[in-house]
């Protein structure tokens, strides 16, 4: 496990030139803020108990943070003139920043200036998903520091689009030091949450520009989706990414994917390559998926991290220290 983690760090260093993931470690706050992880867990679980959509929201926020400038909490920064990452189109549907803010406020009261927003987000995403299982579903190494740059224009070129084909998805993940295996495993996060109609309705109404339907989409499922999304221009309606199971973190995403019921083109693309299609088949059991997801999340959580004297520890997660 340790060797794989170091390899992931080397891969990121080679590709993007930023990585001190070896400086991340277990119980980083043991001395400086012993209650840090329990505070994150308690607040996250309290909020998850009253909001079953929170796991999907925080997991997506963590993913969107890590894929732009690494896992540095740059996704949390506010901008007075709408030029920060959270103002970019792919991030406008992110939600529950208030949960991170609540955790940060409590941690600043207990041990000011010690716990980074980047670590809070990584831990909260894990704890929200883990809530239904009453045990941690993956290990989060800590020691990240917060970035002080957040640029909206960098988002579209770094966050993988739901319209991407397989080769483009592979390149996107490779640029972050992640493998085809990580791509397939992390796509399993679509087992929770919802998708907006405008991100897949072209598959229903105008797949090749000839008012046609995507032939790779299960026809019965397509007919159902058409009852929900009745036009290409619908930007407000949402549907479950994992029909009937969108609030349960499980392996059913891979089961429906094999039935050609992946919602996005990027989901269906995983079946267009023999290697990735085989990996999909290996993940249909929840025990297998959970094991692999744990490893891939650990690698994703190490993308481009700032440690040591790099970056800062923000006093407020939405504001760069002055």
Q: Yes or no: say if 315 and 78 are a contact pair by the CB < 8 Å rule.
A: no
3-state secondary structure of 7: helix
319 domain-assigned: no
Whether 271 is in a domain gets the answer yes
From CA 290, how far away is CA 185, in angstroms rounded?
9
pLDDT digits (tens, 9 = 90+) for 198-237: 999 999 999 999 999 999 999 999 999 999 999 998 999 9
pLDDT at 204: 97
Q: Is 9 a residue whose pLDDT tops 50?
A: no
Q: Same structural domain for residues 150 and 257?
A: no
pLDDT digits (tens, 9 = 90+) for 128-161: 999 999 999 999 999 999 999 999 999 999 999 9
Strands 194-196 and 238-240: antiparallel
Of 318 and 2, the structure prediction assigns the larger pLDDT to 318
Asked whether residue 8 carries a pLDDT value surpassing 80, the answer given is: no
**287 lies in the same domain as 168:** yes
Question: What is the three-class DSSP state of 294?
Answer: helix
Q: Looking at the structure, do residues 116 and 194 belong to the same domain, yes or no? A: no
Total number of domains constituting the chain = 2
318 is a domain residue = no
Say what the pLDDT of residue 202 is: 96
If asked whether residues 135 and 263 sit together in one domain, one would say no
Q: Which residues are annotated as a binding site for Ca(2+)?
A: 65, 68, 70, 72, 74, 85, 191, 242, 250
pLDDT at 16: 37
Query: What pLDDT shows up at residue 1?
Result: 36
What pLDDT score was predicted for residue 21? 52
Do residue 165 and residue 295 come from a single domain? yes
Provide the CATH number for the domain around residue 84: 1.10.520.10
Tens of pLDDT along 23-68? 899 999 999 999 999 999 999 999 999 999 999 999 999 999 999 9
242-264 per-position pLDDT tens digit: 998 999 999 999 999 999 999 99
Catalytic residue (choose from 62, 64, 181, 196): 64
Alpha-carbon span 97 to 233, nearest angstrom: 28
Q: Which of 127, 129, 167, 137 is closest to 266 using CA atoms? A: 167
Residues 92 and 170 in one domain: no
Do both 220 and 104 map to the same domain? no
User: What is the per-residue pLDDT across 295-319, written as a single tens digit (0 to 9) for each?
Assistant: 999 999 999 999 999 999 999 999 9
Instruction: Report yes or no on 221 lying in a domain.
Output: yes
Within a domain: residue 307? no
166 lies in the same domain as 291: yes
Q: Are residues 216 and 112 in the same domain?
A: no
Query: For residue 296, what is the domain's CATH number?
Result: 1.10.420.10
How much is the pLDDT for 23? 85
Find, among 67, 171, 121, 126, the residue nearest to 297 by Cα.
126
- Tell me: do 174 and 148 sit in the same domain: no
Instruction: For residue 253, count CB atoms less than 10 angstroms from its CB and return exposed for 0-12, middle for 13-18, buried for 19 or more.
Output: buried
pLDDT > 90? residue 6? no
pLDDT band at 20 (very low <50, low <70, confident <90, very high): very low
Q: Is residue 91 part of a domain?
A: yes
Model confidence at 322, in pLDDT bands (50, 70, 90)? confident
Q: Rounded to an integer, what distance in angstroms lies between the CA atom of residue 159 and that of residue 64?
A: 7
Query: Same structural domain for residues 146 and 175?
Result: no
pLDDT band at 185, cuts 50/70/90?
Answer: very high
Domain boundary among 157, 186, 216: 157
- 118 falls within a domain: yes
- Domain final residue, candidates 124, 157, 190: 157
Please report the pLDDT score of residue 256 as a whole number: 97
Tell me the β-bridge partners of 316.
319
Listed residues 125, 157, 189: the one ending a domain = 157
Give the C-alpha distances (Å, rounded to integers) separating 13 from 26, 63, 118, 180.
21, 19, 19, 18
Would you state the torsion angle of the CA atoms of residues 293, 297, 298, 299, taken in this order, to the nearest 10 degrees? 110
- Is residue 62 annotated as part of the catalytic site, yes or no? no
Q: Which residues are annotated as a binding site for substrate?
A: 160
Give the mean pLDDT of 156-177.
Answer: 97
Check whether residue 78 and residue 209 sit in a common domain: no
Numbered residues of the known binding site for heme b: 190
Any domain includes 18 = no
Domain interval for residue 90: 35-157
pLDDT at 22: 62
């Amino acid at each position: 496990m340790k060797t794989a983690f170091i390899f992931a760090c080397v891969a990121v260093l080679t590709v993007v030139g930023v990585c001190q993931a070896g400086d991340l470690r277990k119980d980083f706050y043991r001395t400086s803020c012993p209650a840090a992880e329990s505070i994150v867990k308690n607040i996250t679980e309290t909020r998850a108990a009253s909001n079953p959509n929170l796991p999907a929201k925080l997991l997506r926020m963590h993913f969107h943070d890590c894929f732009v400038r690494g896992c540095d909490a740059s996704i949390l920064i506010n901008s007075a003139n709408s030029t920060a990452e959270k103002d970019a189109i792919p991030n406008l549907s992110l939600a529950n920043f208030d949960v991170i803010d609540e955790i940060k406020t409590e941690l600043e009261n207990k041990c000011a200036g010690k716990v980074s927003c980047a670590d809070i987000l990584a831990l909260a995403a894990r704890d929200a998903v883990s809530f239904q299982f009453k045990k941690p579903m993956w290990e989060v190494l800590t020691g990240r520091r917060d970035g002080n740059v957040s640029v909206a224009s960098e988002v579209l070129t770094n966050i993988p689009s739901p319209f991407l084909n397989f080769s483009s998805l592979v390149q996107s993940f490779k640029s972050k030091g992640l493998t085809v295996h990580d791509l397939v495993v992390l796509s399993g996060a679509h087992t929770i949450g919802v998708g907006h109609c405008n991100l897949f309705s072209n598959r229903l109404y105008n797949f090749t520009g000839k008012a046609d339907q995507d032939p790779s989409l299960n026809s019965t499922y397509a007919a159902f989706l058409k009852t929900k999304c009745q036009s290409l221009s619908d930007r407000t309606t949402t549907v479950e990414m994992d029909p009937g199971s969108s609030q349960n973190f499980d392996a059913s995403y891979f089961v429906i994917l094999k039935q050609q019921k992946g919602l996005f083109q990027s989901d269906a693309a995983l079946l267009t390559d023999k290697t990735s299609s085989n990996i999909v088949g290996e993940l249909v059991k929840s025990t297998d998926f959970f094991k692999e997801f744990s490893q891939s999340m650990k690698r994703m959580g190490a993308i481009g991290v700032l440690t040591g004297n790099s970056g800062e520890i923000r006093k407020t997660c939405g504001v760069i220290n002055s």
